[in-house]
Amino acid sequence: SAAEHTFALILANSRNIAAADASTRAGKWERSKYQGVELEGKTLGIVGLGKIGSLLAQYAKPFRMRVIAFDPLLTKERADVLGVELVELDRVLTDADYITFHVPLTEKTKGMIGAAALKKMKRTVRLVNTSRGGVIDEKALADALAAKEIGGASLDVYETEPPAKDHPLFKVENVTLTPHLAASTEEAQVKVAVDIAE
């Protein structure tokens, strides 16, 4: 469920789905404004190659994406099985066209993506966080998006949930926001109930 939601956010942000939908419903026809980008040939950088990150790597292959990943706990052998190039975090930040996060919130991961990390990224990069709020500094992200220093972002998790009504990300256009929906599918809820019962 979480891996599928992450990939849905990658696609939605690449094709400006939410903004184009709102515009069309408002009676506008803004085809050129919402021109998107293709996934084919792009590099997906995955931070955290556990169960969710591994599934995401598999989903990217049919879209003909190159996949690189940072995970200090993963062996090269496992990365080879997944068809993923294991690299350092800095390489993910500088090389990836899309970066997704699948890590717990710890002292090491809290604020791991701040202003300095954002400045290392491509101006066209798109970030997706479906792991934990606080991994990305949301104020720094909003500033980078507003200044067009990065291409876009999608968040499903936030430092405070729900976010305050005056949250800085609500004021920028090139971001897709969902209310912590990654595990919100009928199937996932059944799986969780069965796991708990067992």
Cα gap 196→131, rounded to integer Å:
21
For helices 17-25 and 2-14, the axis angle rounded to 10 degrees is 60
Pick left, alpha or beta for residue 151 (phi over 0 → left; psi -120 to 50 → alpha; otherwise beta). alpha
Give the residue numbers annotated as catalytic, written as ranges. 132, 161, 180
SS3 annotation, 28-57: CCCCCCCCCCCCCCCEEEEECCCHHHHHHH
Instruction: Report whether 153 contacts 13 (CB < 8 A).
Output: yes
Cα gap 56→40, rounded to integer Å:
15
